[in-house]
Structures are given as structure tokens and as C-alpha cells.
Amino acid sequence: MPALTLLLDWRTWLAITIAGLIAVVGIQTMRLNWAKNALTIERAERATERYTAEAMARAMAERNASLQAAHAAKQQEALRAFNDALAEQERRVAAADADAAELRAAVECYTSGDCVSANANPAPGGTCVNRAATLGKLFGRADTTAGRMAKAADKHADEVRALKAQILADRAACGASSD
């Protein structure tokens, strides 16, 4: 009977209940610690992923900025080369114009008879002067036309070279082959 008395005693039930509650609290505390550890690990993994993503984004932004700078430099170089070619063309055109003007002045002088020597026979000189005047005018027109055509061709060639350089720079910046 003492076992039955012990079984019915309220203090025994109280002790068993307290022991059970302590066990449940202990288990819940362990589960809570496991959850905290899992959360800490998860946060660390997310922080690492975020750091990696941000580092990749920075690297891509820096690469993009360097590609943009290289492309801008190539564009500036192409523009500088084009402007240099235009300046050289202008210099050549000015020299050609000066040569053409000198030639025209010489032909006009000859055709007007101002350059004919005093000892020249006037009869054939007159006929020659009339023919030379017409020839001189034609030479002048041909020279002017040829100069304009050469100037236009040079300008067109320089523009094509500048556009080609621009296209090659754009292709290089976009990663395409420059064939």
C-alpha cells in the first residue's frame, strides 16, 4: 500500500509535473538554440551571397566604365585623325590652288600677249594669242574642275576612313570581331 499512497499523493504528481515541465522546457530550449544557430548560419550565407553579388556588380560596372573609356578614346582618336586628314587635305588643296593660280596667271599672261617678247613677229603672234586665249580659258576651267573633283574625292575618302574607324571602335567596344 505504500506504493498506492505514493501514487495518490499530490506531491508526487507535482514533482512529476515539474520534472516533465523542466524536460519540455529543456527540449524547447535546445530546439530554440538549434533554430538560432540555423538562422545565424543562414544570415551569414545570405551576407556572403550579397557581398559576392555586389562585388560582381562592382567588377562589371568597372569593366563597363573601362570599356566606355576605351571606346571614347578610340572615338576621340578617330576624330583627331579625321581632323588631321582634313587639315592636311586643306593644306594640299591650298597648295594646288596656288599652283593652279600661278599656271592660270602664266597662261593669261601668254594669251594676252603681255609676255611676248618685243622682237616677236606680230602677225603669227596675233593668231597664236587668239588661239592661246581660248586654250588658256579651257585650261583654267579644266584646272578648277579637276581641283574641285580632287578635293571632293579626298574629302569623301577621309570621311569613309573616319566612319570605318568609328565602326571598328564600336565593334571592338561591343566585343565583335573587327573583320
- Residue 119 CA to residue 11 CA, distance in Å, equals 159
C-alpha cell read off for 140: 583654267
| 100 in Cβ contact with 144 (< 8 Å) | yes
Give the mean pLDDT of 1-25: 82
For 77-92, how does the pLDDT look when each residue is reduced to its tens digit (9 = 90+)? 888 888 898 888 888 8
64 band by pLDDT with thresholds 50, 70 and 90: very high
Please calculate the CA angle 135-140-143 and round it to the nearest 5 degrees: 120
10 band by pLDDT with thresholds 50, 70 and 90: confident
- Residue 49 CA to residue 107 CA, distance in Å, equals 85
Identify whether 61 is part of a domain. Answer: yes
Identify whether 75 is part of a domain. Answer: yes
Domain count, the chain: 1
The least confident of 77-81, 120-124, 129-133, 154-158 is 120-124
Identify whether 1 is part of a domain. Answer: no
178 band by pLDDT with thresholds 50, 70 and 90: very low
Q: Considering the chain, what is the average pLDDT of its residues?
A: 80
* Residue of higher predicted confidence among 153 and 115: 153
pLDDT (0 to 100) of residue 125: 46
Q: Is the pTM of this model over 0.75?
A: no
Q: Element (H or E) spanning 5, and its range?
A: helix 2-8
Identify whether 50 is part of a domain. Answer: yes
130 band by pLDDT with thresholds 50, 70 and 90: low
Identify whether 3 is part of a domain. Answer: no
- Residue 91 CA to residue 70 CA, distance in Å, equals 31
Identify whether 82 is part of a domain. Answer: yes
- Residue 172 CA to residue 174 CA, distance in Å, equals 5
Domain hosting 110: range is: 11-174
Residue with cell 616677236: 120
Identify whether 6 is part of a domain. Answer: no
Give the mean pLDDT of 54-61: 96
Give 70's DSSP letter.
H
Identify whether 179 is part of a domain. Answer: no
pLDDT at 18 over 90: yes
C-alpha cell read off for 158: 577621309
pLDDT over 70 for what percent of the chain? 77
pLDDT (0 to 100) of residue 107: 67
For 19-53, how does the pLDDT look when each residue is reduced to its tens digit (9 = 90+)? 999 999 999 999 999 999 999 999 999 999 999 99
